[in-house]
Amino acid sequence: MRIFTKTKAAVVGALLASTSMVQAADVEVLHWWTSGGEAAALNVLKQDLEGQSVGWQDMPVAGGGGEQAMTVLRARVTAGNPPTAVQALGFDILDWANQGALANLNDVAAKEGWDEVVPDALKAFAKADGKWVSAPVNVHSTNWVWANKAVLDANGIAQPTNWDEFVSAVEALKAAGVTPIAHGGQAWQDATVFDAVAMGALGPDGYKAAFIDLDSETLGSDAMKTAFDRMAFIRDNVDDNFSGRDWNLATAMVINGEAGFQMMGDWAKGEFLNAGKVPGEDFLCFRFPGTAEQVTFNADQFMMFDQGGEVSTEQAALASAILSPSFQSAFNVVKGSVPARTDVSDADFDACGKQGMKDLAAAASSGNLFGSMAHGHAAPASVKNAVYDVVTAHFNGEYDSETAVQELVDAVDIAK
């Protein structure tokens, strides 16, 4: 109910905003980067464009993972008034491209040689029918753990490298009266944790078979039951007020030492940095135990809506600013993600960013790079939403693990 009210308010807000005049040389940008760290990163882009005399009409729609933003977008498109540029993920981009709603960015892409520098994993979502339809901003990944170093040190806990060590660490924190895991109970956050937990329990081949190939046998396997059992363990070790909490407030619990760990994509690092915290000193970043070799990625992109045939000057300026190597470094250093081009130096990145870049390159060359189910890079929205429903119902105690496995098989079968 609460979610519905929030979404409805966002839609009304968006429609009202759309009636205000957008200056000819403005870009109107719909996005969900509203947390402290996200807003700091977005400012890098706004300032870049202002430097080129392109005005910025801000259209923020709060809600991590972007579900509310996508609801607002559909309302705007239905009303015949799409924004100039829209933050989007994976299969959602292809969906809009297939509907013929997006502008063709091939001229700017050819002039700037995007084909040579953007990795294939991103091109799979940025190009449709040979046309560039969106500009990739970054590469995030979801199989990360964020830890408060002082809390771990005070309890004699070393960085866990496998599930059993993670269980021991969590139990030690619980015994010491510290909330072991900071979590926000929203479907997309439950699913984000599930990305990493499923990768650990199923392994890379199993993850691909289940969430990319949508193979019923793997979806219904014993390993999938293990994944749900592990989710239940995590549920048992979050605080009582987790339900509905925004992801960045969960991150704040780790920043403040109220909790030991958070499993979240590397946008969480943006919150630590925004609070003046230093990796290795104040906080630790490491891959979810058992997934050190794998990367479950999601890449934010700005898709450009067709404004009547031609790519507008402002859209081209925005696309070109986003792909410029200096912007890719400056923005991603703040955002917590890594560049969407392969030729950007890691010199300005902190230890977590350097690790992120190394992990991504290694995973891509060893066949260990997979799209995130939670963030729309493994399967289309219908399947993603079916997975969300089951994972969240199980997390909230509606299903035991065995029932969840069966529900997952059925839900994906219906949705695919």
Query: Among residues 55 and 185, whose Cβ is nearest to ligand GAL?
Result: 185
Which CB atom, from 69 or from 231, has the smaller least distance to ligand GAL?
A: 69
Could you say which residues in the range 205-234 bind ligand GAL, by CB under 6 A?
none
CB of 38 to ligand GAL, least distance (A): 5
Among 298, 328, 329, 392, binds ligand GAL (CB under 6 A): 298
**CB 32, min distance to ligand GAL, A:** 5
Residue 22 φ/ψ, nearest 5 degrees: -95, 125
| Residue pair 199/287 in contact by the 8 Å Cβ criterion | no
Cα separation of 396 and 391, whole Å?
A: 9
In this structure, the strands spanning 26-31 and 85-89 are parallel
Spell out where 245-361 has E strands: 259-263, 283-287, 295-298, 300-304
Nearer to ligand GAL, 302 or 399 (CB): 302
CB of 139 to ligand GAL, least distance (A): 10
CB 41 within 8 A of CB 87: no
Q: What residues between 78 and 137 interact with ligand GAL by CB under 6 A?
A: 89
One residue of 76, 140, 235, 384 binding ligand GAL per CB under 6 A: 140
x-or-dash string of contact with ligand GAL, 251-270, rule CB under 6 A:
----------------x---
Nearest residue to ligand GAL by CB is 64
Q: Using CA of residue 124, residue 298, residue 400, residue 208, what is the dihedral sign?
A: positive
Piece of the chain touching ligand GAL by CB under 6 A; list 16-24, 62-70, 113-121, 236-244: 62-70
388 sits near ligand GAL (criterion: CB under 6 A): no
Asked whether position 65 contacts ligand GAL by CB under 6 A, the answer is: yes
Span interacting with ligand GAL, options 30-38, 162-170, 283-291, 338-346, rule CB under 6 A: 30-38
φ, ψ (nearest 5 deg) of residue 139:
-130, 115
- 120: which strand partners? none
Rounded (5°) CA angle 15-64-95: 65
Residue 300 interacts with ligand GAL (CB under 6 A): yes or no: yes
CA 187 to chain centroid, in Å, comes to 13
Name the maximum alpha-carbon separation found in the chain: 63
CB-based contacts of 54: which residues, under 8 Å, 6+ apart?
25, 26, 27, 314, 317, 318
The nearest distance, CB 256 to ligand GAL, in angstroms, is 20
Q: Which of 375, 377, 384, 394 binds ligand GAL (CB under 6 A)?
A: 375
Size of the site for ligand GAL (CB under 6 A): 13
The Cα–Cα gap between 283 and 271 comes to 11
Sign of CA dihedral 370, 373, 379, 380: negative
Distance from chain centroid for Cα 15? 26
38 contributes a contact to ligand GAL by CB under 6 A: yes
| Binding flag, residue 144, ligand GAL (CB under 6 A) | no
Q: Tell me which residues touch ligand GAL (CB under 6 A).
A: 32-33, 38, 64-66, 89, 140, 247, 267, 298, 300, 375
